[in-house]
Amino acid sequence: MQQSIRVAIVDQDAVCRQMSALLESVGGFTVVGEASDADRALALMRDSRPDVLLLSLEALGSNGPEAVAQVHTLSPGTQVIVWNESGQETMVLETFRQGALGHLVRGQAGPEEIARAIRAVHRGEAVLSPALAGRILDEVVQGLRER
């Protein structure tokens, strides 16, 4: 029998944090905690050491990339999926540089897609929302042209 993937959710929106019931209904996941801000998120990492963290950048403000780095310091085995509404490409790239393995756009990813992303990053695979892939590629190409 396959062991459940331990997931923590950090989001300022209580409705999004209630995703735990949806994930657990999909099967294969145990939500080990939820938090609504950076301080609670870091305490959650220290105390529960989840396999995967679903992390909202809006809950952390401009400290998103720094928080990803702190997660890896407090819980080195935790893989991070960042999600936000705006899809700010520079922030997305910076969170990947700090060790996030996935990025989803809130409102465009349903429970099944989130479940697939969690399974993928748990296996060590990178995940990028299709809505962001083209925009990030455009930004990378633009940066190369400016060199």
> Tens digits of per-residue pLDDT, 56-83?
877 766 677 888 888 888 888 999 999 8
Taking the C-alpha atoms of 107, 53, 81 and 89 in order, what is their torsion angle to the nearest 10 degrees?
Answer: 80
pLDDT at 57: 77
* Percent of the chain residues topping a pLDDT of 90: 31
d(CA 11, CA 46): 17
d(CA 89, CA 28): 31
pLDDT at 99: 92
Enter the pTM of the model.
Answer: 0.86
Q: How large is the average pLDDT for residues 127-136? A: 83
Specify the CATH number for the domain of residue 125: 3.40.50.2300
pLDDT single digits (tens) 95-106? 888 999 999 987
Number of domains forming the structure of the chain: 1
d(CA 10, CA 41): 6
What is the domain extent for residue 77? Answer: 5-146
pLDDT at 15: 65
Listed in sequence order, the residues at least 6 apart from 33 whose beta carbon sits closer than 8 Å to its beta carbon are: 8, 9, 44, 47, 48, 50
pLDDT single digits (tens) 17-59? 577 778 878 889 999 999 888 788 888 888 999 999 998 877 7
pLDDT at 87: 59
Q: Which residues of 83-102 are buried (b: 16+ CB within 10 A; e: fewer)?
A: bbeebebebbbbbbebbbbb
Structure tokens at 57: 């950048």
